[in-house]
Every structure is written in C-alpha cells, then in structure tokens.
C-alpha cells in the first residue's frame, strides 16, 4: 500500500463554508480536532483529510494539487456542487474505457475533479 495518497488538506478562507460544501456535496464526515478552525475529514475507504484556515493568499489558476473524487452518480454530484456554491469549470467529458469526468471549483477556489468510472 505504499505510494498512495492517504491524506489531503483543504485550506479555506471561510472554514465553516468549506466544511458545509464538502459535507453536502460528498457526504463526508467532518469533525473538529486540534487547533481552532481545524477539522478532520473521513472521506471513506481509509482516505482522510482536513480543512483548515488558509495561511497564505490563494494564487490564480491551479496553484495546488488537484484531486479527483470517484462517485457513484456524477449527475447528482454535479447538481449538489452547483446548489452548494461550486462552479463547473470543465464540463463533463468522456474518457473511453475509464469513465466520465468533470472539474469544478469549490467555495474556496480549489479545482477538484469528479469521476464516475465505467461499471459503477
């Protein structure tokens, strides 16, 4: 199991807004932990993350590591993204033999991929 992403970090200008967004869109379990404005994320299947207060100003474009979340129902997630303040920045497209993918920005300006894999 070496060389696999196990933990991710989301910096936010508004931690509560980011927390609400990810809970509503992906159903992640998020709980307060440690320092003020620091929350642990249980994203399922052993993947964890955190949401914390942004320490440096966000830069333009892809200033960070882009993660892709695999989902069971891409249409439902796309609707939840928009309903909760996210913006679709690359419309859904197909990768033959893999699945359908789109990219969005969250409420904090982070670019994130969402994919429904073939056979799911």
Q: Are strands 7-12 and 47-53 parallel, antiparallel or unpaired?
A: parallel
Query: DSSP code of 34?
Result: S
What is the per-residue pLDDT across 64-75, written as a single tens digit (0 to 9) for each?
678 899 999 999
User: In the structure encoding, which two tokens stand for residue 42, read together?
Assistant: 């249980």
What is the per-residue pLDDT across 15-74, written as a single tens digit (0 to 9) for each?
999 999 999 999 999 999 988 889 999 998 888 999 998 877 766 655 567 889 999 999
Domain count, the chain: 1
**Taking a C-beta distance cutoff of 8 angstroms, is the pair 42, 48 a contact?**
yes
Q: Show the domain range for 104.
A: 7-55+62-117
CATH of the domain at 105: 3.10.180.10
Q: Is 1 inside any structural domain?
A: no
Q: Is 49 inside any structural domain?
A: yes
| pLDDT of residue 87 exceeding 90 | yes
Q: What is the pLDDT at residue 120?
A: 60
Q: Is 17 inside any structural domain?
A: yes
| pLDDT of residue 2 exceeding 70 | no
Whole-angstrom distance, CA of residue 33 vs CA of residue 102: 31
Strand, coil or helix: 22: helix
Q: Is 2 inside any structural domain?
A: no
């Amino acid at each position: 199991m070496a060389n696999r992403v196990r933990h991710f970090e989301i910096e936010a200008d508004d931690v509560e807004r980011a927390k609400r967004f990810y809970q509503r869109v992906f159903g992640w379990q998020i709980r307060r932990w440690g320092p003020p404005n620091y929350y642990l994320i249980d994203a399922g299947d052993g993947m964890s993350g955190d949401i914390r207060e942004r320490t440096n100003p966000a830069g333009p474009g892809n200033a960070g590591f882009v993660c892709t979340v695999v989902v069971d129902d891409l249409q439902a997630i796309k609707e939840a993204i928009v309903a909760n303040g996210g913006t679709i920045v690359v419309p859904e497209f197909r990768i033959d033999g893999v699945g359908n993918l789109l990219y969005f920005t969250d409420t904090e300006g982070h670019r994130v991929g969402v994919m429904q894999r073939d056979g799911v």
